[in-house]
Amino acid sequence: MHAKTSHVSQPAPLPDLCSPQCVLNPNHFSDFMDTNAVIDLVHEVQGQLWVDKVNETHRTGRLCRWVSTFHPHNLPCQLDGTFHHGAFNAGMKMVFSDGTAWMIRFPRVGMVSDNYADEKVAMEVTALSLIRNKTTIPVPRVQAWGVAAGNPLGLGPFIMMDFINGVSLSDLLNNPNAERPTRLMREDINDSDIEIIYRQLVNYLLQLFKLDFDRIGSLPWPGVDAQSATLARPLTFKAHSILQNGGVNTFGDRRQGYTTTTEYFQYVVGQDWAQLVQQPNSTVGLYDAKNKYMAFQVLKALIPDLVNAKYDRCKFKLICDDLGLANLIVRSKKDLTVIGVVDLEWSYVGPAQLFGSAPWWLLQDRPVNSAWDCEDDKPPKIAARYFKCLKSFIRILEEEEEKIPGHEERELSSLVKWSQTSGAMWLHMLLSSGFNDYCSFPFTQLRRHFHTEWLKREEEFNNTEELEAFAVRKVSELEEYDEALEKREKDKALVDSGMMTKEEFVANTLTSESDSPAWSSSFVVNNEARNDKGLFQKVAATWLWSVFFWLEERPQAHVSPHCTFAKRSLQQLSTLKRKFLSCVQRIHRRGMSIISKFYELGCTYIDCDGRSLGKAGTHIMIEKFSGLRPIHMLPAFPLEYHPDQAGVRQKCIECGKKFCGLVRTHIRQCNGTAFFMHKGKPVQVKVNRRIGIDAAFFYEFNPNYYRPRVEISSSMRSDTNGNIWFDLGELEEEQHMKEKEKFRRTDSLNMTDDDYLICCPSVPGFSFAENDFYEFAFDDICDVKWSPGLLGNLTIPDKKKRTLMALARTRLEVVPSLPFDDFVAGKGRGLNVLLYGPPGVGKTLTAEAMSEYFEQPLHLIPAAQLVANPTKVEDNLTRIFQIAKRFDALLLLDEGDVFLGRRASINACKDATVTIFLCKLEYFQGIFFLTTNRETEFDEAVLSRIHLKIRYKKLSQPQQRDIWRHFIS
C-alpha cells in the first residue's frame, strides 16, 4: 500500500529496515485460498534475504544515490520514515533536498514471483498512464520505472511515483481492537460517511466504464496505446495468489488473449481447478476432496448460464482487481475527500459483466474469510450488513448516472442489478479471488441460487470412478506433503536459532526431496565447482534458465538431447539419441500443467519427407526435478557441456552425411534395435535383416504417426535417492501436434557441417523380416552384403535351375526381351513359381538364393498371418503387393495351401479370399514364390497361373552329407 504519512520537514534518522517497527508482515490469503506451507516457509526466508540486501544498500548510501539519478536535477534525497509494506510491495518515501517527495516501490521477493515481477510493474505503469490520460481519477504520476535487469542494486523491478500526502482510508475503516487482524469495515462507521466514500468511488467507476476494448487480456507494456494494442493473457490478482500461496503456475501462455466472456470465465475456472489438482495440500481429507471435485465440476457446467449474452463478445472494460476502499487516500479523518487512488497493479482488460458486478469491497474486505461463514446453515450476520450497503451503492450509482447526459439507460447500474438477480455476482467474486473452499459464502450463495439444478448436476458426478480416484490420490499426496513440511519446519527452526544461515536454508530447498520453491531467489548462489571450461557442472531445476538463456543470442547454438528409457534393451537407441543435436530457436518457461512442471526448448532440426531435405521444428521438455543434476545428464543440454564435445560433433556430422545419402528409396541392412511410437511410447524390436528405407512410403501407410525426431526423455538418471523416471510421451505428442512448425525445404547440395550436425538420427522404413514399419537408428544401418553364391547350394536339377534363372532374368529385365502382356495391358507380367516337396529340402532357400543373386529383398508372407483375420484379407494383400512393388522385392508365400486351398460352396469367406488374391496376383510384375508340402491341395485357378513348378525330392544321403560338410567347413 502507498505510504500515507504526513510530510516532515526534517527527515528522521535513517532506520535499519530490519528493525522491529519495520518487519514485513506477509498478508496471507489462507481465508479463501489454501496455502502451501512448505513453499511459504521458503518465501519467508527469501524475503528476509531480500530485506537484508535492501538494508545493505541503504546503510552504504547506494540506495539514495541511485534514486537521486532519476531526479531531473539529480538532487540528493533521504528516506523519510519507515519501510512501508503491503501484500506484494515494499515502499519507501524518499524526500529530496527541494522538499519534493517520491514513493519508491519494489515487488517483494518471496511475495511476488520473479517470473512476473517485471510484468506486474509494467502493467501498473500502463494502467496509471491510461487512467491519468482518460479520466480525472487522482492516481499518482509515475516519475520513473524499470525492470529487474535495469536495477543496478539487484533489488528487482521498481516504480517511482509522486508521494500522495494524506491518510489511508483503510486505516480509518479498520477495527484496531479486533481479535484477528482484518480489513473488515468497522460497524460504527456513519452511513453518511459511507455514502460520501461510495459516491466518489462510483464516479471513478463511471469514468472507467467509458473505456472500451476489443479483446480480453493484458494491457500492453508502457509506451504503447493501451486501447489499440493487441492484448494477451492477463496478469491477475487471483492467478498470482494461486502461485504465491499454492505454488501452482496457472497463467499460461502470455500470448493468449480471449474474445468472449464465456471463454475467459472457463480459463479462470481452469486456474482454480489446476490449483486443486496440482497443489498437494489443496484438500484436507477424503470427504473434502470429493466435495471440492463435485463443486468444481458443477461450476464449470453452469458457467454458460451465468454469462450475460449482451456482453459476451463486446464492451470489454478495464478491470482493477484490487480496486476498493483500501486503495483510497483521503485528505484527513474529518475530510473524506479522496486525493489519491493507488495500488492498481493487478489491472487488465476483462468482461463488462465482471466490471459491472455487485462490488466485493462494500465492507472493504472480501466476503470469503471466516467472518462470512454460515452458522447452522443460516446466512452469516454480516450478510445483512453487506446487502444493506449494496442497496445504498446501487441507489448512489443510479443517482450519479442520471447526472450524465446520454446515460438514461443506466447501463452500469443495470449490470450490477443483473449480477444480483442472476446470481452471477457470486461467480464474479469467486473468479476474482479464488474458490478452493466450497463452503465459502459466495459458493454457498451460488448453490442456493441454483438449488435444484445444482443438486441434479452434483449427482451426475457423485460416486464416479474419476471422483474416487481423484479423492484417493489427493489423500496420498497429503501424507507426502506432511513429511515435506515437517522437514522444512525443522530447518526453519535451525534458522531461527542461528544454527543455520538463511542462505543455507534456501540452498537446501534446492536439494530437498519436496517441491522446490515456486520461483527461484536471485540471492542463492550455486557454488558447485566449475569444469575446465569455466562452466558449472551441476544445476538445480530453478536455475535451468541460466543454462539455456544465452543460447538464444547464438544462431548456431546446439543442445544435445538424451533419450534414455528404463529398459536396457533400448540402450543402443538411447546412445544414438544422445548424439543428436538441435539448433535452439527459443526458450520459455512453461506453466504448471496437470501432469507436472517443465521447461520447454524450441528447436530446429533437418529431416526428410521422403523426397527432399528440410528444416522443421520440435520441442524438448525438461521435467522438473529435485536436487542438483549434472548438466550433461539432463534430457537436453548445450553441446559445450558435453564431456566429449569434439568427438560427439564429429560423430553427428558423419551420421548427418549418412542421413542425406538415404533420401528416397534404399535397401539396407539393419543390425540392432528398431522402434515404433505407439500412444507416445516406444515399442522396440530387434532387427537383424534387410530393411527398405523410404520416408514418403512410411507416411503413406502411417499418416497419423507421431515421429519423435528429437526424442524427449524425462529420465533424470541417478540422484541421491536412485533413479527417477518421468513419462511425458503423451503430453509431448499433444504439444508436438499443436505447435509443429512447417517443413521448410533446404538445398542438400549446399549442406554444411553445421547442417549435417542437426540431421535426424533415425530414418523410417520397412523391415522385411518383421513385416512392419519401424524407425531405424543410423548407427545400426549398413550397406547390404549380398551373397550371390548361395544359388550354388541349391539341390534342384540343373535344368530346372537354368529355366528358373532364364525366366527370372527375362521378367526382371536383366536381359533384353520382347515385352509380354496379357490381353489386358499391365496384366500377367509377373513370374509365379510353385515350389513343392517335403519339409527341409530347400524350397525357401531357393527364394532366398534368388533374392541374393538378383540383389533384391525377399518379402516373406506367412499364410497363417493372412487367414488370422478374414475381414482384413483384402487390405493385407493390397499392403503386401504395394510393399513388394515399392522396394522391388521378391514375394514368398510360405505354406500357401493353407490360404489358397480349393474353393468350396460351404466356405464362401475362403472362396472370396482366393478370388481377391488371384486378382492382385494378375497385376504383380515381380517374382512370386509359392511353397507347399501338398501340391494337390491348391485351387485349380491358382495352379493355372503358375508359370514354373519345381518339385523337391527327399534329400539323398550324399546330398545330406554335402550339406553337413558345407556347414561344418
Per-residue cell: 286: 477424503
Going by the DSSP 8-state scheme, the letter that residue 375 receives in this structure is B
SS3 category, 881? helix
Same domain, 52 and 194: yes
Q: Tell me the C-alpha to C-alpha distance, in Å, between residue 492 and each of 18, 19, 470, 499.
A: 18, 20, 32, 10
527 inside domain: no
Give the model's confidence band at 107: pLDDT under 50 very low, under 70 low, under 90 confident, else very high: very high
Residue with cell 507416445: 680
The secondary element (H helix, E strand) that includes residue 585 is strand 582-589
Least confident of 125-134, 191-200, 235-244, 739-748: 739-748
pLDDT in tens, 246-263: 888 888 777 777 889 999
- Per-residue cell: 740: 509443429
The pLDDT of residue 37 is: 86
pLDDT (0 to 100) of residue 566: 26
* For range 169-177, the mean pLDDT: 80
Q: Which amino acid is at 29?
A: F
Measured distance CA(859)–CA(881) in Å, rounded: 10
Residue 681 lies in a domain: yes
- Could you say which of 738, 763, 782 is where a domain stops? 782
Structure-block grid coordinates of residue 400: 450519479
Per-residue cell: 40: 511459504
Tell me the C-alpha distance between 685 and 108, whole Å.
55
Q: Do 174 and 193 fall within a single domain? A: yes
Residues 717 and 798 in one domain: no
- 3 state SS of 150: helix
pLDDT for res 765: 92
Residue 739 shares a structural domain with residue 806: no
> Which tens digits make up the pLDDT trace of 447-470?
889 988 888 888 888 878 888 888
Please report, as a single letter, which amino acid is at residue 213: F
Half-sphere exposure of 881 (CA within 13 A, CB side): 18
Give residue 390's pLDDT. 95
- For 120-129, 375-384, 525-534, 573-582, which range has the lowest pLDDT when averaged over its residues? 573-582
pLDDT band at 755 (very low <50, low <70, confident <90, very high): confident
How buried is 783 (Cβ within 10 angstroms: 0-12 exposed, 13-18 middle, 19+ buried)? exposed
Of 901, 895, 892, nearest to 839 by C-alpha is 895
Where does residue 921 rank: exposed (0-12), middle (13-18), buried (19+ CB within 10 A)? buried
Give me the CATH number covering residue 944: 3.40.50.300
Structural domain that includes position 668: 538-782
pLDDT at residue 718 is higher than 70: no
Residue 577 — pLDDT band, cuts 50, 70, 90?
very low
Alpha helices, DSSP H, located in 511-582: 544-548, 571-578
Q: What is the C-alpha to C-alpha distance for residues 298 and 452, in angstroms, rounded to an integer?
A: 12
CA distance 518 to 109: 12
Which of 393-407, 635-649, 741-755 is predicted with the least confidence, judged by mean pLDDT? 741-755
Neighbours of 916 (CB within 10 A): 15
Cβ atoms of 596 and 675 closer than 8 Å: no
The amino acid occupying position 410 is: R
Enter the C-alpha cell of residue 591. Answer: 506453466
User: Has residue 486 been placed in a domain?
Assistant: no
**In the predicted model, what is the mean pLDDT of residues 777-791?**
86
Look at residue 502 and tell me if it is in a domain: no
| 566 and 627 belong to one structural domain | yes
Helices (H), 707-862: 729-739, 753-757, 798-811, 843-854
Distance CA 128, CA 270 (A): 29
Distance from C-alpha of 101 to C-alpha of 79, rounded to nearest angstrom:
10
Answer whether residue 475 is part of any domain: no
In the structure grid, which three cell numbers stand for residue 277, read together? Answer: 489438482
Q: Sorting pLDDT into bands at 50, 70 and 90, what band is 410?
A: confident
pLDDT over threshold 80, residue 268:
yes
Q: In sequence order, what are the residues at sequence separation of 6 or more whose Cβ sits closer than 8 angstroms to the Cβ of residue 300?
A: 266, 269, 273
Check pLDDT > 80 for residue 500: yes
- What is the predicted pLDDT for the residue at 840? 83
Give the least confident one: 242-251, 440-449, 569-578, 747-756: 569-578
Residue 867: the pLDDT is: 65
Q: How far apart are CA 304 and CA 133, in angstroms?
A: 36
State the pLDDT at residue 510. Answer: 57
Integer Cα distance of 728 and 565 in angstroms? 12
Contacts of 734 (CB under 8 A, 6+ apart): none
Average pLDDT over residues 495-515: 74
Same domain, 348 and 247: yes
Backbone angles phi, psi at 638, to 5 degrees: -60, 145
* Phi, psi angles (nearest 5°) of residue 737: -65, -30
Kindly indicate the confidence band of residue 598, based on its pLDDT and cuts at 50, 70 and 90.
low
Q: Which of 336-340, 372-376, 862-866 has the highest mean pLDDT?
A: 336-340
Note the pLDDT of residue 545.
59
What is residue 279's three-state secondary structure?
Answer: coil
| Side-chain half-sphere exposure of 255, counting CA atoms within 13 A | 2
| C-alpha to C-alpha distance for 277 and 594, rounded to whole angstroms | 7
807, 922 contact by CB (below 8 A): no
Residue 513 has pLDDT above 80, yes or no: no
Position 650 scores a pLDDT of 85
Tell me how long the chain is: 969
Q: Which of 438, 461, 484 is the last residue of a domain?
A: 461
- Confidence tier at 11 by pLDDT (50, 70, 90): very low
pLDDT at residue number 559? 63
Residue 569 has pLDDT above 70, yes or no: no
Residue 567 has pLDDT above 70, yes or no: no
Position 583 pLDDT exceeds 50: no
C-alpha cell at 36: 502451501
Q: Mean per-residue pLDDT for 264-285?
A: 88
Is residue 416 scored above 90 in pLDDT? yes
- Give yes or no: residues 262 and 402 share one domain: yes
Residue 766 has pLDDT above 80, yes or no: yes
Q: Can you tell me the mean pLDDT for 569-573?
A: 24
Summarize the confidence of residues 139-154 as an average pLDDT: 92
* Residue written as grid cell 491341395: 937
Beta pairing class for 598-608 and 613-623: antiparallel
Cell of 438: 466450497
Q: In this predicted model, what pLDDT tens digit does every residue of 919-936 receive, in sequence order?
A: 888 888 889 998 888 766
pLDDT of residue 713: 32
Tally of structural domains, the chain: 3
Residue 556 and residue 436 share a domain: no
> Does 760 share its domain with 842?
no
Written as one string, the DSSP assignment of 652-687 is HHHHHHHHHTT-S-EEEEE-EEEEEEETTEEEEEEE
Q: What is the mean pLDDT of residues 6-22?
A: 33
Cα 209 to its chain centre, rounded Å, is 36
Same domain, yes or no: 800 and 842: yes
Percent of the chain with pLDDT over 90: 22
604 in Cβ contact with 758 (< 8 Å): yes
Residue 319 above 80 pLDDT? Answer: yes
Which among 782, 813, 841 is the end of a domain? 782
Query: To the nearest 5 percent, what fractions of the chain are helix, strand and coil?
Result: 45, 20, 40
**Checking DSSP bridges between strand 948-951 and strand 338-341, what pairing results, if any?**
unpaired
Flag whether 250 is in a domain.
yes
| Domain presence at residue 520 | no
Which stretch of DSSP H or E encloses residue 91?
strand 89-96
Question: Does residue 498 contact residue 321 with C-beta atoms inside 8 Å?
Answer: no
Cβ-based burial of 867 (10 A; exposed 0-12, middle 13-18, buried ≥19): middle
Supply the DSSP string of 896-963, one letter for each residue. Answer: GGGTSBPP-TT-HHHHHHHHHHHHHHHT--SEEEEEES-GGGB-HHHHTT-SEEEE-PPPPHHHHHHH
Rounded average pLDDT over 363-388: 79
Please write the tens of the pLDDT for every residue from 788-835.
888 877 777 788 888 888 888 887 765 555 455 554 555 667 888 888
Q: Is the pTM of this model over 0.85?
A: no
Query: How do strand 890-894 and strand 927-932 relate by DSSP bridges?
Result: parallel
pLDDT of residue 726: 28
Terminal-residue alpha carbon distance, the chain: 94
| Beta carbons of 348 and 161 less than 8 angstroms apart | no
pLDDT at res. 176: 66
Measured CA distances, 159 to 101, 219, 490 (Å): 14, 17, 37
User: Which residue carries 515502499 as its cell?
Assistant: 91
Residue 400 belongs to some domain of the structure: yes
Integer angstrom CA distances of residue 335 from 66, 139, 166, 329, 814: 37, 19, 10, 11, 107
- Between 941 and 424, the higher pLDDT residue: 424
Q: What percent of the chain has pLDDT over 70?
A: 75
Sign of the torsion angle spanned by Cα atoms 851, 853, 854, 855:
positive
Cα–Cα distance for residue pair 847/862, rounded to 1 Å: 14
Bridge partner list, 588: 600
Alpha-carbon distances, residue 649 vs 564, 568, 573, 602, 639 (angstroms):
20, 25, 18, 21, 9
Q: Is there a contact between 292 and 283 (Cβ–Cβ < 8 Å)? A: yes
Rounded CA separation 740/665 (Å)? 25
Distance separating alpha carbons of residues 679 and 664, to the nearest angstrom: 27
Q: What average pLDDT score do residues 842-855 get? A: 89
Asked whether residue 130 carries a pLDDT value surpassing 80, the answer given is: yes
pLDDT band at 965 (very low <50, low <70, confident <90, very high): confident
| Rounded alpha-carbon distances, angstroms, from residue 447 to 299, 438, 456 | 9, 10, 11
State the average pLDDT over residues 836-859.
Answer: 88
Q: Which three cell numbers stand for residue 573?
A: 537407441
How many CA atoms, within 13 angstroms, populate the side-chain half-sphere of residue 524?
29
When pLDDT is cut at 50, 70 and 90, the band that residue 692 belongs to is very high
Instruction: Please state the rounded mean pLDDT for residues 64-79.
Output: 94
Backbone angles phi, psi at 575, to 5 degrees: -65, -45
> 796 and 773, same structural domain?
no
pLDDT of residue 442: 87
Average pLDDT over residues 79-98: 86
Non-local (6+) Cβ contacts of 124 within 8 A are 159, 344, 345, 347
Stretch 309-338: mean pLDDT, rounded?
91
Q: Point out the least confidently predicted range of 78-82, 418-422, 814-818, 912-916.
A: 814-818
Do 798 and 941 belong to one domain?
yes
Q: Is the dihedral of CA 631, 633, 636, 638 positive or negative?
A: positive
